[in-house]
A and B are shown apart, each in its own frame.
Chain A
Amino acid sequence: MSDRHILSLGCLGLVLLFVASLFIGAGDLSFRTIANGEMDGEALRLLLVSRLPRTVAAMLAGASLAVAGLLMQMLSSNRFVEPSTIGTTEAAGLGMVVVTLLAPGALIFVKALVAAGFAIAGTAVFLILIRRLRLKSGLLVPLVGLVLAGIIQAAAHFVAYRADLLQSLGAWSSGDFSMVLQGRYELLWIGAMLGSVALIAADRFTLAGLGRDVSVNLGLAYERVVALGLVIVSAIAAVTVATIGSIPFVGLVVPNLVTMTMGDNGRRIVPFVALWGAILVLGCDVLGRLLRYPYEIPVSVIMGVAGSALFLMLLARRRTAHG
C-alpha cells in the first residue's frame, strides 16, 4: 500500500471516529434524532457547544502532541523522550500555577503564554543538560529527563500547596476533555498551527535529528533550528496544559510507531504522526465515555494504560529489531 492509500484510510477512520464522538456521551443526542429531522434547540446546543468542541479539541490535541513528541525526539536525537517526560509539560504546569497565583483573573491566553515561557525554560535546561553531560543515546537521556520532570513537578506541587491551588494543578496535569466547551479550547488551534510548521521545516528537523555535526556540515543553522523546535514543542505543551491538561504517552507512542515502520524522514512522516495522534487521542476519549457509561473516565487515564502497554511493546520490538 502506498503512503497515499494509508493516509486516506486513516483519514476515513478519523472521520468515522469524529461522527461517533459527536453522538456518544451522557447527554441525550442520538444519530436518529438528527436523521429524522427531530433536532430540537436543546440537542443542537449540546452538539455545537459541547460535543463538537470536545471532538475537535481531542483531534487537535492528539495531532499536535504527537508532532511535538516527534520534534522533541529529533531535537535530542533520542527516541525515548517526549514533552511530558523531560519537564516541558511539568514546567508549563508550574507556569500555570505561578501565573494563577500572581494574576488570578488573567485571560487564558495570557496564562498559556506564561506557561509557554516556563516550558521553554524547562526544555532548554533539559537540552543543555544532555549536551553538557554528552549523553547521546541510550536510556540515560530519558532518565535525565524524568529526573528533571520530577524536580519541576515537585516545585509546582510545593507552590500549588502553599497557594491552595492543588486542585487546579491536578486539572492541568491530568488531561480530560469533559470540561471542553466552546470558547475554552480554541487555543489548541494555535498549537496545531505551530505543529504544521514542523511539516514546512521537516527537512531541517530531520537533519537536526542526525546530530549537530552532520547538520553543521550541511550548512544547517543547527542552533536556530533547535531553538525553533524548542519554541514549538513548548507552546504546544503549554496550550494543551492550559486548556485540557496534559496527556501522557501520545508523543512517545505515535512517533515511535510511525518511525519504526516508515523511517525518520520528517517530510514523509509528519502527516502520519499528526493523523495517528488525532486518532489515538480521540479514540481514547470516546472509549473513556463508553467504558462506564453514563460516567466518564478521563482521557489521561485511558491513555496512561493504553499508552504504557503500547510503549512497552514498542520498546521490546525496537530492541530486537534494531539493536
Chain B
Amino acid sequence: MIEASALTKLYGDSRVVDRVSLTLDQPGVTAIIGPNGAGKSTLLSMIARLLPIDKGRAFIDGLDVTRTKGSELARRIAVLKQENGLLARLTVRDLIGFGRFPHSRGRLTAADRAKVDEAISFLDLTPLSDRFLDELSGGQRQRAFVAMVLAQDTPAILLDEPLNNLDIRHAVAMMRLVRKAADDLGKIIVVVLHDINFASCYADRIIAMQEGRIVVDGPAAAVVTEETVEAVFGLPVMVREIEGQRTCLFRR
C-alpha cells in the first residue's frame, strides 16, 4: 500500500510538487499523466525515497519511507527512473540478478535464479541475456531495467516512463505485462505515461498533474475526455471510441 500526505518538494521558491496526497491500496494500474515539468518524476522519487521530502510524509505498507531501513523498503517497493545505469557494462542476466539483491543480498539461490529467468522471458530478453547492456539499443536496455525491477518482486512498483525508447510492439507488450502483473499477481503499479491512449487502454485509474498538483484523479474512462485532456495539456484534442477503445487524438 502506498500513501502520501501533503508531499511537497521545493527548489528555491518554486514548489515543484505541492501538497500532493494520494492513496493506492488496491491492486491495479494507475497512470500518472501531465505536461513536462509537472512534477511527476519528482513525486515518484519522493515516494520511493530517492529524493528527500521537504514537507509531508510518505508511507509504504504503513512504514514511513524516511525512517525505514532501505533494505526493508526494497522488498516492498521497486522504482524505475527515467534514466538509469551509469556504469553499466553488465550482462542483461547479471543486471536482472541484481534485482534479487533485496532478497538474496548477493547470493542467488535456485529460487532467485528462477525469478531471474522468468523476468528475462517476460520481457522477451532471452536471446540477449548474455549481452552487455552498453551493447544494446535504448529500448532493449529499457526492457532489461524493467526486468530487473520485475525480478525484485515487490508488491508495489513505480515506473517512470517505462515506454521510453520502445517500439509499438514492445510498448504494447510492456503495458500488457503491467496489466498482467496487476491482475494475476495483485501488484500495485504506478506508471508515468505520456501517451494518453496507453493510459486510457491499460490503466484503471488516471491521475493528472499540473504544476506540482494533482488536478484530476479518477477512473480512466472518466478522465479521458476532451475537456479534461484539453485542460491538463492546454491542447485541443478529439476523444473517440474506436472499436471499444477510448482513443485520444490531437487536432492538427
Q: Please give the residue numbers on chain A whose beta carbons come within 8 Å of chain B beta carbons, in ascending order.
A: 73-74, 77-79, 136-137, 203-204, 206-207, 209-214, 216-221, 259-260, 263-265, 322-323
Q: Give the docked Cα–Cα distance between A212 and B84 (Å).
A: 10
Q: A218: which B residues are within 8 A, CB to CB? A: 74, 98-99, 101-102, 152
The answer to whether A211 touches B70, judged by C-beta atoms less than 8 angstroms apart, is no
Q: Are B106 and A263 in contact (CB under 8 A)?
A: no
**Which residues of B, 28-51, contact A by the 8 Å Cβ criterion?**
45, 48-50
Residues of B94-130 whose CB lies within 8 A of A:
94, 98-99, 101-102, 106
A218 to B80 alpha-carbon distance, docked (Å):
11
The reply to whether the CB of B194 lies closer than 8 angstroms to some CB of chain A is no
Contact of B87 among A79, A213, A216, A260 (CB under 8 A): A79
B101 in complex: contacting residue of A137, A209, A220, A260, CB < 8 Å:
A220
Residues of B within 8 A of A209 (CB): 86-88
Residues from chain A with Cβ under 8 Å of B73 in the complex: 219
Cβ contact within 8 Å between A74 and B87 = yes
Smallest Cβ-Cβ distance to B85: which chain A residue: A210
Query: Are A203 and B101 in contact (CB-based, < 8 A)?
Result: yes
Contacts of B78 on A, CB cut-off 8 Å?
Answer: 217
- Whether B94 pairs with A219 at a CB distance below 8 angstroms is no
Smallest CB gap from A73: residue in B: B87
CA gap between A314 and B132 in the complex, in Å: 18
Query: Does B72 count as interface, using CB distance less than 8 angstroms?
Result: yes
Closest B residue to A221 by CB, please name it. B70
- Let me know if B85 and A263 touch, CB within 8 A: no
A74 to B87, CA, bound (A): 7
Q: Are A219 and B102 in contact, with the CB atoms below 8 A?
A: yes
User: Which 8 residue pairs of A and B lie closest in terms of their CB atoms, listed nearest first?
Assistant: A219-B74, A219-B71, A77-B86, A209-B87, A203-B106, A264-B89, A211-B86, A219-B102
Q: Bin chain B's interface residue count.
A: 20 to 34
A204 to B80, CA, bound (A): 19
Partner of B88, one of A204, A210, A212, A221: A210
**CA distance in complex: A204, B50 (Å):** 18
CB neighbours (8 Å) of A206 from chain B are 90, 98
The answer to whether A217 touches B91, judged by C-beta atoms less than 8 angstroms apart, is no
Give A323 to B137 CA distance when docked, in angstroms.
12
The reply to whether A217 and B87 form a contact with Cβ atoms under 8 Å apart is: no
Asked if B81 and A263 sit within 8 Å, CB to CB, the answer is no
6 of the cross-chain contacts (CB-CB < 8 Å) are: A136-B86, A213-B79, A216-B70, A218-B152, A219-B69, A264-B89
CA distance A152 to B96 in the complex (A): 41
Complex Cα gap A217–B45 (Å): 10
Name the residue among B87, B91, B102 with the largest chain A CB count within 10 angstroms: B87
Determine the distance from Cα of A212 to Cα of B88 in the docked complex, in whole angstroms. Answer: 13
Q: Are A264 and B135 in contact (CB under 8 A)?
A: no
Taking CB atoms, residues of chain A closer than 8 Å to B48 are 216-217
Q: Contacts A206-B98, A216-B49, A218-B98 given; 4 further ones with Cβ under 8 A?
A: A204-B106, A218-B152, A220-B70, A263-B132
Partner of A213, one of B50, B89, B90, B134: B50
In the assembly, what is the distance between CA of A103 and CA of B50, in Å? 46
**Within the complex, which residue of A74, A207, A211, A323 is in contact with B84, where a contact is CB–CB below 8 Å?**
A211
Determine if B75 is an interface residue (Cβ-Cβ < 8 Å): yes
- Assuming the contacts A78-B87, A136-B86, A218-B101, asked whether A213 and B81 have C-beta atoms less than 8 A apart, the reply is yes
**A195 to B162, alpha carbons, bound, how many Å?**
38
